[in-house]
Structure 1
Amino acid sequence: MTENNRNHDTDPGADGSDRVIATPTSTEERVISGTSEEQGSHEGAYSAEEAHPRPEEVQRKGERTAAVWFTLAFLGGVGFLVSYFLFPPDAQGDPSIAHPLVGQWANMLMGGTLTLSLFGIGAGMTVWARQVMPHYEVANDYDELPSSPEEKSSFSDFFMRGADESGFTRRPLMRRTLLLAMAPLGVAPIVLLRDTGPLPGDTLRHTLWEPGMHMVVEGTHREGDSQWIHEGDLRAGGMISALPYVEPDPEHPHGLSLDAQAKTVILLIRMDESDFSDEMTREQRNWTHNGIVAYSKICTHVGCPAALYESGSHRILCPCHQSTFDAANGAKVVFGPANRPLPMLPITVDEEGYLVADGDFSEPVGPTFWDAQRGE
């Protein structure tokens, strides 16, 4: 390794002592001398005038200007919170509010006050950096890590000196107005959480399925028991995609909303009872009826419909990412990215032989990444 490429843990200063890397060795190295000769010979990113400390009156003026901007930012933040609660998200549909443009005005008011708050903070920080903080250039070679004990011990002094030079500790007006301006913005995300709606609670753990509920073929819209699925409708090796039967209403003429269909859709599969795996629990076997088993159709990977079934191997396949489940063994994962089985629906028949649910799914349906919301 050549001398030019060699890195050192410490850098001797002018007085022979080690110094923290990336800090000036002395006040002379900061290029802040005020003589005309030094100003004329100055080179670097800053002009000669900028590289020298501002007079005290200029710094005080910058402090007051930054404080004004921070105060405006605080008022903008307070205005945002006030306008948010003055015009709640559902205010446009509130018949007690007569103005037809209330929603538009609410958006303009919230957007304008938030803009003022963010702009005020940015403008104040710019004035702070340009008129209060000193400008000087610091350059040094990169050092090998870790730092030496001497460098670590001097970091605290270096940090406090930087804080003092920035004016944060010496300019209380500017510091206090900045903290004041930041306070409303810190509260804003908390109050905005109410727009996300109520907490799900245990709603993700339950669907519309309940004991005695009949089943219909997905996509059929016949009325009455003519569409109910009879156990004789499934032959060995057959598969039917089914939904719970509910009475139609004006809002949902076919009985179920799309959201409800997505949560309750099942695969009804019939096989010889001897084909069931010995690994199935007794409870899982009790949830079947004469070789008919019901699983959620929603893949536990990312929620695609696992709509393909191969009767010879009893495999259920999700075409999105090739997750494969064993229908003869509680729909356990045998291949692919899914990491938990398809939930199983306990089934039985009524006195006429129509298939009915014997309860809800054995576990929550849907993708595994919902587990955090389920509290699992």
Structure 2
Amino acid sequence: MSTRPADHGANAPTEPHPSDATPRIPSDEELAQMSTDDLVALGNRIDDIEVVSGRERFPVPGTRAEKRAVRQVAGWFILATISGLLFLVAFIWWPWEYRSATEEGAWVYALYTPIIGVTFGFAVFAVGMGVIAYSKKLLPEDLTVQQRHDGRSSEVDRRTAAARLIQTGQQSGIARRKLIVRSVGAAGGVLGLGVLVAAFGGLVKNPWKEGPDSALLKTEWFSPDGERVYLRKNSGIVDDVVLVRAGDLEPGSMETVFPFKESQRSHPEELAETLRSSDSPVMLINLRPNVPVIKRAGQEDFNYGTLFAYSKICSHMGCPTSLYEDQTMRILCPCHQSQFQANEFAKPVFGPAARPLAQLPIAADDQGYLYARSDFIEPVGPAFWERNS
């Protein structure tokens, strides 16, 4: 065994270390003919790697200790597979539609997000634990020392590094451990499928199957049989119907209203569905008298006096435009700070929104109750490819 001479001072001469000599770089033809072991040895010399010690975890294959380690590693990947399958089942078949706390099945709906979060998260966690367990229990125990080098790796460096990985895999015995191979494949396949389902699950349903009456083109304000749709407040109680009169709002005030049909009064399920529908909320704004108003072409008669009704769904990303500033007459979206001018057909004046809020045409009946003369004449909310407005 040879050792380096001790350094007796900052300027003491040193003898060259055998690894300091630059090894000859073989040609591409020679590299192609070299074995994995030869490439690893060459890479060690090039990268100035000193192998201090190294041994396989299980020099004798098939021992009880090895089988136990294999089962432990595969167990994590099997748990990841099971958890991933549970995620897929919950994501597709668990009741996901909104239910208020007073409705039947509300507790089942409340568990939807926690269940898909826990199952998917545990699947990722189990895969990570399986990789860690594999490296700790099955990979060879090597202790190496390498000097740090800067700059981009050359072709020979990349070849030798790949060979080193291949050799490590061969020494770990992964090829003969079929249980680990199968469990890793199952876990990776299920987890990859889960990522695809989470990313594209919303595209499974065809939004255009109903033609002109498709969900992206019609809202709860649409009445297929011509029944009048009134404006109602949400008092927090589903079957407590409070209609809105023209004189209920003070000048400069705003009220969030929802659609209501008289035929729904005795059907709490339909009333609840209308309240929780994402395209139902409308901002009813009563402008102050003598405020200059600019109306959008084709929508000159959509207001009722100083009352203007705009969709509460922001045209940028679909957030609720929940704020109204009376002095500037601006509707504010708290998500990305888009602002819309209420006295100028709710056109965007600040922020990322590029289109006005959809305006609902309203009128009042003989008793002064406000109702929608029709559905919105344009889709509410953000853009989509087939949108023509």
- Calculate the TM-score normalised by the size of structure 1: 0.58
Asked if the contact 1:164–1:170 (Cα under 8 Å) also holds between the matched residues in 2, the reply is: no
**In structure 2, do the counterparts of structure 1 residues 374 and 64 end up closer, same or farther at CA, with 3 Å as the change threshold?**
farther
Residue equivalent to 1:136: 143
Q: How far off is 1:86 after superposition?
A: 11
Deviations 1:250-270 (A, max 9, x none): 636977765248832322435
Match of 1:269 in 2: 286
Instruction: Within 5 Å, give how 1:7-156 maps onto structure 2.
Output: 13-15=21-23, 17=25, 24-25=44-45, 29-32=49-52, 51-54=53-56, 57-58=59-60, 66-69=69-72, 72=75, 76=79, 122-129=132-139, 133=140, 135-144=142-151, 147=152, 151-156=154-159
Give unmatched runs, 5+ long, in structure 1.
Answer: 1-10, 33-50, 91-109
Structure-1 residue corresponding to 2:372:
357
| CA drift at 1:180 | 0.6
User: What's 2:31 paired with?
Assistant: none
Q: 1:115 to 1:283 in 2, by over 3 A?
A: closer
Q: State the identity as a percent.
A: 22
CA pair 200-125 structure 1, distance change in 2 beyond 3 A: farther
Indicate the residue corresponding to 2:183 in structure 1.
Answer: 181
> 1:210 maps to which residue?
222
Q: How far apart in 2 are the matches of 1:77 and 1:235?
A: 59
| 2:300 alignment counterpart | 285
Number of matched pairs: 311
Q: Residue deviations 1:173-202, cap 9 Å, x none? A: 13x4333112332344446959x8985946
Determine whether 1:335 maps to 2:335. Answer: no
Whether the aligned pair in 2 keeps the contact of 1:200 and 1:373 (CA below 8 Å) is no
Query: Is 2:296 the counterpart of 1:296?
Result: no
1:229 and 2:245 are equivalent in the alignment: yes
Deviation at 1:140, TM superposition (A): 1.9
Confirm whether residue 306 of structure 1 aligns to residue 322 of structure 2.
Answer: yes
One-letter amino acid of the structure 2 residue matched with residue 359 of structure 1: S
Residue 229 of structure 1 aligns to a residue whose secondary structure is coil
Aligned mate of 1:161, from 160, 164, 167: 164
Deviation readout 1:78-103 (Å, 9 max, x if unpaired)? 6668888999868xxxxxxxxxxxxx
Provide the rounded CA distance (Å) in 1 between the counterparts of 2:136 and 2:268: 56
In structure 2, distance between residues paired with 1:166 and 1:225: 69
SS state of the match for residue 161, structure 2? Answer: helix
Task: Assess if the C-alpha contact under 8 Å between 2:254 and 2:324 holds in 1.
Answer: no
Provide the residue aligned with 1:47 in structure 2.
none
Task: Name stretches of at least 5 consecutive residues in structure 2 with no aligned partner.
Answer: 1-18, 27-38, 96-118, 208-213
> CA RMSD, aligned part only?
5.4
Task: Give 1:137 deviation, angstroms.
Answer: 1.5
**What is residue 243 of structure 1 aligned with on the other side?**
258
Aligned residues of 2:47 and 2:147 also touching (Cα < 8 A): no
| Cα 1:358/1:257, change in 2 over 3 Å | closer
Distance 1:77 1:23, change over 3 A: same
Letter in 2 for 1:213: V
- Does the 8 Å CA contact 2:340/2:346 hold for their aligned counterparts? yes
Task: Kindly provide the CA deviation profile for residues 190-245 of structure 1, in whole angstroms up to 9, marking residues without a partner as x.
Answer: 46959x89859464664311253122355498x99994424x66787665443323
